[in-house]
A and B are shown apart, each in its own frame.
Chain A
Amino acid sequence: MSAKVAVLVFPGTNSEVETWRICRDVGLDAEVVHWSRAACLPQYDAYVLPGGFAYEDRIRAGAIPAHDPMMDYVIEGSQRGKLVLGICNGAQIVLEAGLVPGTGPVRKPTAAFTRNGPVPHFVCKHVYVKLAIAPERCAITAALEPGALIPAWAAHGEGRLAATAEHLREITEGSHIAFVYAHADGTVDERAVPNASALGCAALTNREGNVLAIMPHPERDAWNYNHPDRRDGRDILAPSGGVALFEAFAEALRRA
């Protein structure tokens, strides 16, 4: 039986449909769960937090939803080893909840995805992210090739990793940076980073490797039609590119 995955919707979430759809298309039994049905969350095997502007990004992106009752279940589940994938606003929420990098107590974040630099405005750009850890370091990336390059759309106003020097050292030494921004040919440099994120970070994982918080949206570059100039197969409706991360997520759930 395939794993049951909840795609969470907070008030203000806006990417739930495409995220749900890609989960379904990689064979997961995924359902969209709204905030008014939070109590049913324990019955799911894994949680995906999609993009959007949960609670209007009040205070900081992710700060309020991290305290939503839905997150009680997500935090509890993650502590019991359930997989949690946060994308964009979902990543911000996971950071605010203290699940990644997970170097401090719950809901006491030690790092944040905060205002973009050098100019603090929303940026929507096609990007690539490159796996920066050994694949098996994080359960969700375990099925990827080392150095896997995944296409995605960065679309956020607050995606710059920021932390104190001490916490950044912890992040580096603990191999928490799962993905960095890269160019189409896999090279990594500052120009590839759309938001001045510290260490070029695009995604973070926790110590245990069961939670992944990724800022750009791989689900928006997941089908051949999303990138007609780089067609991987003849079937325009076939999955491609960004689907790799979701396939790895599904594979991790199968192995679990």
Chain B
Amino acid sequence: MPNFRVNELSDDELREHATRAGLALRVDELRRIAQTLGRDPSIVEVHAFDAQWSEHCSYKSSRHLLRRLPTEGPTVMQGPAEDAGILHLGQAHGANWGVVIAHESHNHPSQVVPFEGAATGVGGIVRDVLCMGAEVIAVADPLRFGRVEDAESHQRYVAQGVVDGIAAYGNAIGVPNIAGDAYFDERFDDNCLVNVVALGLLKEQDIIHSAAPAHSEGWDIVLVGKATDTSGFGGAAFSSVTLDEEDEDANKGAVQVPDPFLKNVIMRATYRVCEYLRERGVTAGFKDLGAGGIMGCSAEICSSGGFGAIIDLDDVNTAIQNMPPEVIAVGETQERLCWVLPGDVTPDVLRIYNEEFSLPQIARGACATVIGAVQGEKRYVLRHGGEIVMDVPIDFLTGSIRDELPVRPMSEGKVTDPARRYVVGEHDLRQLFPRVLAHRDVCSREPLYVRYDGAVRGTTVIPRGSACAGVIAPVFGAPLGVALAVAGNPRFSKVDPFLAAQYAVLEAVRKVVSVGARPLGLTDCLNFGNPRNIEHYSELVHAIEGIALAARQLGTPFVSGNVSLYNESKTGNAIPASPIIACVGGMDDVSTVVTAGLKRSGSALFLLGRPQNAAGGAVFAELLEQTGGPVPPIDYERAIDQIAFFRAAADAGFILSARSIGNGGVLAALAEMAFPTLQPGYTPIGVRLEPAHGWSNGAVGDFEAYFGECGGFVFEANAADAQALRAIAPEHLYLMQIGHTASEATFDVGSVQFDLNELYECWHAPLAQVYP
């Protein structure tokens, strides 16, 4: 086998040699490989390590940090160890049901080829859930884009292509999109963020692990899916370096090509295979092919079982002839999965894929086929053309890499100017409220998510956009509900990454609570700049500390996650620290769900949350061209009690409608509760709000009270229940009646009256320009 020269070269020569070969491996890493193998690595081996030791596969600079996250608790069915985590949902039909959750990014590919990049992001996360033996029941897409105002800009092209790609893929496979968010900021101009969350459903006894099972020596390794081609070669390494504009064409080759049509059929065939294996009582191993392709997947599935593997690359179904072995081994062709199966069931499984679901007729070259075997000796061996082209200790390949990098201590937030109080006149409010609603981070997302199928599967209870979290009832014939929400505010991050990380967790939890669900668990996708830049690496470390602190305080564990580093361009434009959090909620009975649309006139409107005298990162402060001061600190004790009170009030049926407070503050939340009543065929319901000094006791400025974003809930309750609610709420909760609903389509703040239809237009119009 041809070798990659390491030993005889100087450091400078080796660096150049590696760069020319398109490798992201560093000189010290290459030397370590040659030293451990006792020889120069082969070409195939060096590409295998290049993929497997990339940040994307190995989490080498973040794995030790992630240990700080709380990952245990009574809701955890399976913590973060495999492709996805699993949370206890509840019992029904005599079984314990689990919700599978996985969360990933597809940032670099989406920046280069938005449609395909985003589509393959959905495809990849769906496989992570599928390979746990689960049915895929929902997806969500937290998105971060650059400035999209200019219709001719690349940013606009990216923002449109990403949404179209997500729609094309998710709609075709028949999984409802029930949650997500979108932020727009100049610091995402060169690096968009495309995160995708997927949920699955399974019975606890039906979990399939991403590891070769006990005593599986000699079992078949079966590759399922699309014929391996040259797309996605170098994908893992590509996502682990900084984007270079000049290399754009080369980068495009590293992006995979999605095939949702084939995936639709593979998913259905896989459900049938899982059913067959359950009937036969067979324990199998199952894992999706992602970064590192056939090599990465087969090595990880076998090494996690304590085994080695031997694969014959000549047995792989390829799309073109004479592909180099390193491309077959590590190329990241989409729509592929890998089973570890006992030989006696293999023929039946191949029959289901190849005949019952006729994969070879669905896409050229697609099939299920045996490519190798599990071996007892803990080595990873690849054959090609009758030769051994790779033979390395499997644990050295999959588990031995770690980078500890220097970290700077946390500063006290970047903005230190003192908080100011925005006490304003009627004129300012009249100007500002419509502008807040029209702000890029507040305005309606409907023009975006209307392109996503949000109701396929027929399980949708609260569709995307109509409340702070989406809700589905995924177990047929049982009242169990699942809520899903995402959060992560880049405007907060620019002021204080540590607090912003905490708010991301708190906001995701509150969103799930606002629909009447109990938070079950969290996932994180940590999107940051180059870890070799001490500034960015320190932001990552502090963000992990932040989300760990918040999750511990709120008693909500993390069960899976993802790290995406190197989100910066060669010009040095790095994204704001972007820890993006997803929260899954559970409901024993979806009939207790809380929706967001106002129900009737004459109800009482409550604020559950204390306005604070700081507006760092708030939308209104940006509109007033003020820094806004610091991000307000979090009083966890109060936040926890407010959540508990809200849940108790919801369970007791006191809450008619609600939202958690986020971008645009109390007024934006109330406006979004009133807007659904403007639909034709419904009776409009308006809002009558007391002036802020009446309910903030003058302790904070009016604008902080109206538009502050430090959170809490607003909700509607029967006027007859108002006194009882106030009586049972302890004073430290800050439960305040701030107004009532009315039968005219207006939004009154004290004596300032807004036409609800005009406000709706302000809120609905901006994104319709980007997504016509």
Contact = CB atoms under 8 A, between A and B. Distances in A.
Interface in B448-478: 449-463, 473, 476-478
Given A122-B451, A236-B479, A237-B479, A36 B357 contact: yes
Given A11-B265, A12-B265, A225-B479, A36 B358 contact: yes
Given A35-B358, A36-B355, A192 B680 contact: yes
A53 B356 contact: no
B357 A34 contact: yes
B680 A226 contact: no
Contacts of A229: 595, 597, 599
B679 interface: yes
A18 B455 CA distance: 11
A53 B171 contact: yes
Nearest to A128: B681
A185 B260 CA distance: 38
Contacts of B463: 126
Interface string A43-60: 000000001110110000
24 contacts: A11-B264, A15-B174, A17-B457, A36-B357, A53-B171, A53-B261, A55-B261, A56-B172, A56-B261, A121-B451, A122-B453, A126-B455, A155-B171, A183-B680, A184-B682, A185-B680, A186-B681, A191-B680, A228-B461, A229-B599, A231-B591, A236-B589, A236-B590, A237-B478
Contacts of B473: 223, 225, 236
A207 interface: no
Contacts of A124: 449-455
B772 interface: yes
A251 interface: no
A189 B356 CA distance: 47
Interface stretch (A90-98, A99-107, A134-142, A214-222): A214-222
Q: Main SS of chain B's interface residues? A: loop
For chain B, the bracket of interface size reads 35 or more
Nearest to B174: A14
B681 A183 contact: yes
A22 interface: yes
Contacts of B265: 11-12
A225 B461 contact: yes
A146 B515 CA distance: 37
A148 to B, nearest CB: 16
A96 to B, nearest CB: 18
B451 A220 contact: no
Contacts of B738: none
A255 to B, nearest CB: 27
Interface of B: 164, 167, 171-174, 260-261, 264-265, 268, 355-358, 361-362, 449-463, 473, 476-479, 481, 589-591, 593, 595, 597, 599, 679-682, 772
Contacts of B164: 121
A13 B268 CA distance: 10
B453 A225 contact: no
B559 to A, nearest CB: 26
Contacts of A11: 261, 264-265, 358, 361-362
A249 to B, nearest CB: 16
B458 A220 contact: yes
B257 to A, nearest CB: 14
B458 A21 contact: yes
A215 to B, nearest CB: 14
Contact of A226 (B362, B461, B478, B595): B461
Given A14-B174, A122-B171, A226 B450 contact: no
Contacts of B595: 228-229
Contact of A14 (B167, B456, B476): B456
Nearest to A17: B457
A34 B361 CA distance: 14
B8 to A, nearest CB: 52
